[in-house]
Structure 1
C-alpha cells in the first residue's frame, strides 16, 4: 500500500507502511508464536485487504469553521486533514466532504487544543456492511446540539446521528453522555448472516471481514467441543455469544457479560430478533460475575481489552473445572501472562487474524483444553 500522507511525513500512524503485507503478517505471527508457544497447532493466518478495510473513522476536527480539517492533530495541536486516507473504503470516504461542509453550515466551531476553545472535538463515523452510516459529533457542550438537529437533512441519508458530550479537556475520544438525534438509535452490522445491532457507544471490531472470520473460528471450535452451556465474558455487542448459541436442534445456555450497558442493550436487541430464548446478556464486571457464580459452564469465551483477563479471573478459570476456554486477544504479551496463570488449561490451537494491516496490531484466538 502506498500512502502520500506517510511519504510526506504528515501522518505516521501506520508504522508498517511500505513493508510488504505478507511480511507484516509473517512477522506478527512469528512474534505471537514466540510469546504464546510454537508447539501449538497454528492454523493459517486470516488475511483481508491491506487497504480500505476500516469500518470506523475517528476524525479529530481542527482548522476553522470555513476550512475545517478532519484527521489528526500535529504536535502543536493544529489540525491535519486526512480525508484521503487509504484505510477507509469509498463508502466511508465519501461522507467526509459532506461532514466538512456541515461543520460550517451548523456553525460547529472546531475545538482548539492549545487555547481550549471551540466546541467540536471529533467526528466518529461507522460504516455497516450494507452501506448504512452512523455519525457521532463529539462536542464540548450541548450548545450546538439544536443547530445540528436543525440541519440534519443536509447530511443526507444517515441511519444514526448523535451528539456525544465531552466537556473535559483530556486525551480521550468521547464522553459518557450521548444524545441520539435520529429516529433510529442502532446501526445494523450484518456479520455471517447474523444482525448485530450497534448503538453509538458500543464497541465493534474495526475490520468487518476479519471480524467475521474471528467469529466463525470461535464457533467452529465451540461446535467441536459441544458444550451445553457457555459464557461470553467481555461480550461487547454479543458477537461471540450469538455465533456460538447453537442451532435449533442443539441450542445452548449462553450468558454474555459486558461492563458497557450500551453494548448490552445492543446485544439484547440482536438476541430478541433472533428469538434465542436460552441466551441472556447482562451488564457487569466479567471477573466479579465469575467470582460470584455458584456454578461454572462447560466452556468460557473471553475477549478482554489489551490488559488481558488479569490474575483473579485467570485464577478462577484455573480452579473452576471449565473444560474449554476460547481466548481472543489483541495483545500476546498479556495473553502469555494469563496462560501462565492457568497451567491446567493447555493451549492447543491458535490462529492469527490480521485485523489491523499497516500496524503492529493484530488479533489472535486460542483454544485452551483442560489437561
Structure 2
C-alpha cells in the first residue's frame, strides 16, 4: 500500500507504509516467535491476514485550522493541524463522513483548539463505524460553551449523515496530551452502537473500547471460542473483558461465564448484549481485574444474585481464564495468583508480545500449546497474538 501523506512526510504513523504486505507479516511472525522462543512446544497456527487498507473502524482525529477551514487529522511538530481526511487505512464509511463533519464544524462555528496558543474549543473527533455501516461520532471539546451550538446544528448533520446513530460531546478541559475527558453528554436518542461480530451483537457506548479492525476482531473471537469449546470448561472468567467479546463468544449450555472490566460503561454495554441474547449464565461486573481475583476468593460481593458455588474451582478460581490486558500485561500479582491457583487453562490475548513473554515467564506451571498471530494493525509493527496455555502435569 502507498500513501501520499507518508510519501510527502506529512504523517509517519504507519511506520511500515510502502513495505510489501507479505514482508510486514513475516517480520511480525519472526518477532513474535523470537519473543516466545522459550515455549518450544507451541504449535503456531497460520497467521490471520488483514486487508492492507480500509481496515480501521475507528478514526481518532485532531481538529486544527479554523472553524471556516478545519483540518481533520494530526498536529505537526509546531502544534498546527495537518489534514489527513483521505487516510486510506480508514474504512470507506469513515472517509465518506469526513466532508459532512467538516461542513458541520464550519456551519456551527466550532473553533478548533490551538495547542500552541491554548485557545479555542474543539479538540478532537472520534468516529466509529459498525459492521452495518452505522456511525458513532464523539466531539471532544474544551468546555460546555459549545453545547448549545452543537445541539442547534445537530439536525443538519443528521440529515447529511443519516447513518449517524450516536452523537455525543466529551468534555476535556485540561491542556495535556490526553485524547478525551471523563464527562460525556449523549445528544441522540440512541446511546449505543450495535457491533455485529460473528453471531454476537456487541453494544458500544461512547467511552467503551472496541478493537479497531472489525474483521480481525471477529477472527480473534472465533479462535477464542474454538479453544474454549475444545477445553469445555464449566466455568470461565474473562478479565479485561471490555464490551464482552470473549465472554459472550464463550457462552454455552451449562457453562458459567464472568466478565470483569474496569470501565462501567463497557460493563453496561456487555450486560445489554447478554440480556438481548438471553444468556442468564453470563454475568459482568465492573472493577479492577487483579482486585477481583485477589479479593473474596475472586467472587465479587455484587455477583448479580449468583451463588459462589458453580462459578469456579474449589479455591474460587475458574476452570479456564481469559485475559486480554492492555499493553503492560497482567502484572506480577495476577501471574503469582495464577501460578498458585487450580486454574487448568489460560487463554491469553495480547497486543504486546514483550509483556506476554514476561508474564508467561512468571507462570512456569503453564505451558503454551497453541498460538496464533492476528494482524490487527497493518502498516505498523504492532500485532495481536493469542496463546492457549495448559497447566503442566504434576
* TM bucket normalised to smaller: over 0.9
Q: 2:256 — aligned with what?
A: 253
Q: CA deviation at 1:251?
A: 3.4
Q: 1:320 — aligned with what?
A: 341
For residues 41-69 of structure 1, the C-alpha deviation after alignment (integer angstroms, 9 at most, x for no partner) is: 00000002010000000010000011100
Q: What are the residue-to-residue correspondences of 1:1-371 with 2, within 5 Å?
A: 1-37=1-37, 39=40, 40-156=42-158, 157=162, 158-246=164-252, 250-294=253-297, 295-371=316-392
- Once residues 89 and 341 of structure 1 are traced to their aligned partners in structure 2, the CA distance between those partners, rounded to angstroms, is 40
Cα contact 2:194–2:204 (8 A) shared by 1: yes
- Once residues 174 and 271 of structure 1 are traced to their aligned partners in structure 2, the CA distance between those partners, rounded to angstroms, is 28
Cα contact 2:168–2:187 (8 A) shared by 1: yes
Q: 2:301 — aligned with what?
A: none
- Once residues 298 and 241 of structure 1 are traced to their aligned partners in structure 2, the CA distance between those partners, rounded to angstroms, is 14
Give secondary structure in 2 for the equivalent of 1:272. Answer: helix
- Once residues 265 and 174 of structure 2 are traced to their aligned partners in structure 1, the CA distance between those partners, rounded to angstroms, is 21
Q: CA deviation at 1:256?
A: 0.3
Give secondary structure in 1 for the equivalent of 2:285. Answer: strand
Give secondary structure in 2 for the equivalent of 1:143. Answer: helix
- Once residues 157 and 367 of structure 2 are traced to their aligned partners in structure 1, the CA distance between those partners, rounded to angstroms, is 52
Give secondary structure in 1 for the equivalent of 2:54. Answer: coil
Q: CA deviation at 1:292?
A: 1.2
Q: CA deviation at 1:186?
A: 0.1
For residues 264-292 of structure 1, the C-alpha deviation after alignment (integer angstroms, 9 at most, x for no partner) is: 01101101100110111010000010011
Give secondary structure in 1 for the equivalent of 2:194. Answer: strand
Q: CA deviation at 1:293?
A: 3.9
- Once residues 352 and 258 of structure 2 are traced to their aligned partners in structure 1, the CA distance between those partners, rounded to angstroms, is 25
Cα contact 2:137–2:166 (8 A) shared by 1: yes
- Once residues 33 and 251 of structure 1 are traced to their aligned partners in structure 2, the CA distance between those partners, rounded to angstroms, is 36
Q: Return 5+ residue gaps in structure 1 as ranges.
A: none
After the TM superposition, which parts of structure 1 deviate over 3 Å for at least 4 consecutive aligned residues?
A: none
Give secondary structure in 2 for the equivalent of 1:51. Answer: coil
- Once residues 202 and 268 of structure 2 are traced to their aligned partners in structure 1, the CA distance between those partners, rounded to angstroms, is 11
- Once residues 244 and 201 of structure 2 are traced to their aligned partners in structure 1, the CA distance between those partners, rounded to angstroms, is 10
For residues 116-161 of structure 1, the C-alpha deviation after alignment (integer angstroms, 9 at most, x for no partner) is: 0000000000000000000000000010011111111221221000
Give secondary structure in 2 for the equivalent of 1:159. Answer: strand
Give secondary structure in 1 for the equivalent of 2:50. Answer: coil
Q: 1:297 to 1:74 in 2, by over 3 A?
A: same
- Once residues 58 and 251 of structure 1 are traced to their aligned partners in structure 2, the CA distance between those partners, rounded to angstroms, is 41
Q: CA deviation at 1:23?
A: 0.8
Give secondary structure in 2 for the equivalent of 1:151. Answer: helix
Q: Return 5+ residue gaps in structure 2 as ranges.
A: 298-315
RMSD: 0.7
- Once residues 255 and 124 of structure 1 are traced to their aligned partners in structure 2, the CA distance between those partners, rounded to angstroms, is 30
